């Protein structure tokens, strides 16, 4: 298993949790970004910088990830693409996207997006739920479970 991080929008605290997990386990981990990113690389931790542009980092991860890998991203349509390849995706709040749940989550996301685009939902004041200690802990717990499962012989 390799870990791929969609690093452009990944909160710094989540990047740090992933780095600590990679250092602890030795799992190959790649942070893919189209922006300059300060990152302490190690033999199993690398930075892949891609050209600027919409979804270029996502495309590179889809190209490189394989079945059994883990992708860290908050982008649900992107998560659906990696799940289609046999990988799993984990969002920074600790929600795991798998082949069992991604279609339902994507459908709900698309439905809510269409509702926001219509007069049905009031515009403004939006945004998702906040990101705080609870979400950080949930991410850390999920990552630990996934890594432990991957490291079992």
DSSP states of 13-73: HHHHHHHHHHHHH---EEEEESS------BTTEEEEE--SSTTHHHHHHHHH--TT-EEE-
Answer whether residue 84 is part of any domain: yes
Answer whether residue 109 is part of any domain: yes
Averages of pLDDT over runs of 10 residues in the chain (153 residues) are 94 94 94 88 90 93 96 94 95 92 79 68 52 92 93 70
Answer whether residue 126 is part of any domain: no
Answer whether residue 124 is part of any domain: no
CATH of the domain at 62: 3.40.50
**Domain limits for position 101:** 3-117+131-151
Amino acid 119: pLDDT: 56
Q: Could you give the number of structural domains in the chain?
A: 1
Answer whether residue 89 is part of any domain: yes
Answer whether residue 28 is part of any domain: yes
């Amino acid at each position: 298993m390799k870990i791929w991080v969609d690093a452009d929008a990944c909160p710094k605290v989540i990047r740090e949790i992933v780095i600590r997990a990679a250092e602890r386990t030795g799992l190959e981990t790649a942070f893919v970004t189209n922006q300059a990113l300060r990152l302490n690389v190690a033999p199993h931790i690398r930075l892949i910088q891609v050209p600027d542009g919409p979804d270029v980092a996502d495309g590179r991860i889809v190209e490189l990830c394989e079945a059994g890998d883990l992708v860290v991203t908050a982008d649900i349509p992107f998560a659906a693409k990696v799940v289609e390849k046999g990988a799993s995706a984990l969002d920074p709040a600790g929600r795991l996207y798998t082949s069992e749940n991604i279609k339902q989550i994507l459908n709900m996301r698309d439905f809510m997006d269409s509702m926001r685009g219509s007069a049905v939902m009031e515009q403004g004041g939006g945004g998702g739920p906040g990101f705080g200690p609870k979400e950080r802990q949930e991410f850390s717990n999920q990552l630990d479970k996934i890594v432990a499962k991957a490291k079992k012989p």
